């Protein structure tokens, strides 16, 4: 019998079995399709050798913000010695207990090759340094914006890239709630729109709002809470995945991200949701991700793919230890990458995310993660829908 004949005989036998079992051909096709469902998404591989070792045996503390400037330099903030164990920072104790190591300066910048090119930060003349760092953004003029989520932090700061103080808005310890027009309430993230020179503030860990400031003066121009309503600081009960969505934000309001087509995305982290607005605060839509996630929630920070349409959103989820890849026009999750762990490509507390001009992704990790990782963009390709796991480099790539 020929090979073709054997294949036809096998196919006929399978059809007979299926018919005998009462299983329709359409059902069999659906099962096969589900088992092999694929999606077209950006493809990445982790670069386990980026960045290069920090100077002076410096160590990262909780890594709590990342941004990419116009030269593709990568900026990050971390909590340095404040979040290092004495055995990690033995060289800076008094007296020193070892030759190694010390906390690196809280503001760092790396060039695309991973060399440290900037290292500064800390208290100084004319400004109030945050009690606890949170968030960094480099704007279209090259200014470096910083936030803080310490108990008294009610200010945002602007510096030059060499660490020269430029501007402070708000004052430490002066927060008067989510309707305060002078101060903030433990800010999580800042984004400055180059078209309008307005800064959007995820405000934040104490307040429950988005605030918009003039990026030259720091003056608050407008603000809103969930669904574009006036903010209300009344405490919520525990998050219930099956309950009615909270009509005000929980704490923290953790991210702001403005797309090229002027849609503002806001992370309500502990409610597992992203809300979408027009720049004036008009509510458009909300979408939930991993809605049964409790504790710190699933929606941490957002970045966009670098194609002009920004077809994809990258959403960090530091509770489930994933970066979710979302189709932006439908807000449908297509795939995710990463899983819990300490090896390259895995995450512990994946927190902040940014994308460079080539489409490469940079993530930071808080808690005991204490690192920054680079994921190299490899183009658009077909992958199985759902979780991809750790994105190790392929042999020969």
DSSP per position, 45-104: EEETT-SPPPGGGEE--SEEEEEE-TT--EEEEE-GGGGS-TTTSGGGSSS---S--EEP
Whether 79 and 107 have beta carbons less than 8 Å apart is answered as no
Which tokens hold the place of 116?
A: 């440290």
Q: Is residue 127 part of a domain?
A: yes
Whether 120 and 107 have beta carbons less than 8 Å apart is answered as yes
d(CA 235, CA 349): 25
d(CA 139, CA 143): 5
- Count of the separate structural domains present in the chain: 1
DSSP 8-class letter at 180:
-
Q: Is residue 61 part of a domain?
A: yes
Work out the number of other CB atoms within 10 angstroms of the CB of residue 156.
Answer: 27
- Give the domain extent around 335: 38-387
132-141: per-residue pLDDT in tens?
A: 999 999 999 9
Give the CATH number, domain containing residue 307. Answer: 2.120.10.30
Nearest to 169 by CA among 180, 179, 184, 150: 184
Please identify which residue in the block is written with the tokens 């019998």.
1
To the nearest 10 degrees (0 to 180), the angle between helices 25-35 and 3-21 is 110
d(CA 33, CA 324): 23
One digit per residue, the tens of pLDDT, for the chain of length 397 reads 444 344 434 444 444 433 443 434 433 333 334 456 999 999 999 999 999 999 999 999 999 999 999 999 999 999 999 999 999 999 999 999 999 999 999 999 999 999 999 999 999 999 999 999 999 999 999 999 999 999 999 999 999 999 999 999 999 999 999 999 999 999 999 999 999 999 999 999 999 999 999 999 999 999 999 999 999 999 888 999 999 999 999 999 999 999 999 999 999 999 999 999 999 999 999 999 999 999 999 999 999 999 999 999 999 999 999 999 999 999 999 999 999 999 999 999 999 999 999 999 999 999 999 999 999 999 999 999 999 988 988 765 5
Q: Is residue 7 part of a domain?
A: no
Q: Is residue 303 part of a domain?
A: yes
Q: Which residues contact 85 (CB under 8 A, 6 or more apart)?
A: none
Q: Is residue 368 part of a domain?
A: yes
Cα–Cα separations (whole angstroms), residue 142 to 59, 114, 129, 130, 137: 26, 20, 20, 21, 9
Q: Is residue 163 part of a domain?
A: yes
Q: Is residue 82 part of a domain?
A: yes
Whether 376 and 45 have beta carbons less than 8 Å apart is answered as yes
Q: Is residue 141 part of a domain?
A: yes
Work out the number of other CB atoms within 10 angstroms of the CB of residue 174.
Answer: 15
Cα–Cα separations (whole angstroms), residue 98 to 117, 162, 271, 340: 27, 31, 45, 32
63-109: per-residue pLDDT in tens?
A: 999 999 999 999 999 999 999 999 999 999 999 999 999 999 999 99
Q: Which residues contact 10 (CB under 8 A, 6 or more apart)?
A: none
């Amino acid at each position: 019998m020929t090979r073709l004949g054997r294949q036809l005989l096998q196919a006929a036998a399978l059809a007979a079995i299926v018919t005998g079992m009462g299983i329709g051909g359409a059902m069999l096709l659906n099962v096969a399709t589900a088992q092999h469902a694929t999606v077209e998404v950006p493809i990445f591989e982790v670069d386990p050798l980026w960045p290069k070792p920090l100077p002076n045996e410096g160590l990262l503390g909780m890594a709590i913000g990342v941004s990419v400037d116009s030269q593709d330099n990568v900026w990050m903030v971390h909590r340095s010695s404040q979040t290092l164990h004495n055995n990690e920072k033995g060289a800076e104790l008094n007296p020193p207990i070892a030759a190694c190591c010390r906390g690196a300066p809280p503001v760092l910048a790396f060039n695309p090759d991973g060399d440290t090119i900037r290292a500064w930060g800390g208290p100084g003349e004319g400004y109030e340094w945050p009690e606890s760092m949170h968030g960094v953004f480099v704007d279209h003029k090259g200014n470096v914006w910083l936030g803080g989520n310490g108990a008294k932090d009610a200010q945002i700061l602007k510096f030059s890239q060499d660490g020269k103080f430029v501007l402070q808005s708000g004052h430490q310890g002066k927060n008067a709630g989510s309707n305060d027009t002078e101060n903030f309430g433990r800010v999580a993230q800042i984004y400055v729109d180059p078209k309008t020179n307005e800064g959007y503030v995820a405000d934040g860990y104490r307040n429950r709002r988005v605030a918009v400031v003039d990026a030259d003066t720091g003056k608050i121009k407008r603000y809103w809470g969930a669904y574009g309503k006036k903010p209300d600081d009344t405490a919520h009960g525990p998050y219930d995945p099956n309950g009615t969505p909270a009509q005000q934000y929980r704490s923290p309001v953790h991210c702001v991200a403005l797309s090229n087509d002027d849609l503002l995305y806001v992370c309500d982290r502990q409610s597992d949701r992203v809300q979408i607005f027009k720049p004036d605060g008009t509510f458009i839509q909300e979408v939930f991700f991993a809605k049964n996630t409790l504790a710190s929630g699933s929606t941490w920070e957002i970045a966009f793919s670098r194609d002009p349409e920004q077809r994809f959103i990258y959403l960090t989820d530091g509770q489930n230890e994933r970066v979710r890849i979302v189709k932006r026009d439908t807000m449908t999750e297509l795939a995710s990458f990463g899983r819990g762990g300490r090896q390259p490509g895995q995450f512990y507390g994946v927190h902040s995310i940014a994308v460079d001009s080539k489409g490469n992704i940079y993530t930071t990790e808080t808690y005991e993660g204490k690192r920054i990782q680079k994921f190299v963009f490899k183009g658009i390709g077909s992958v199985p829908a759902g979780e991809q796991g750790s994105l190790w480099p392929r042999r020969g790539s």
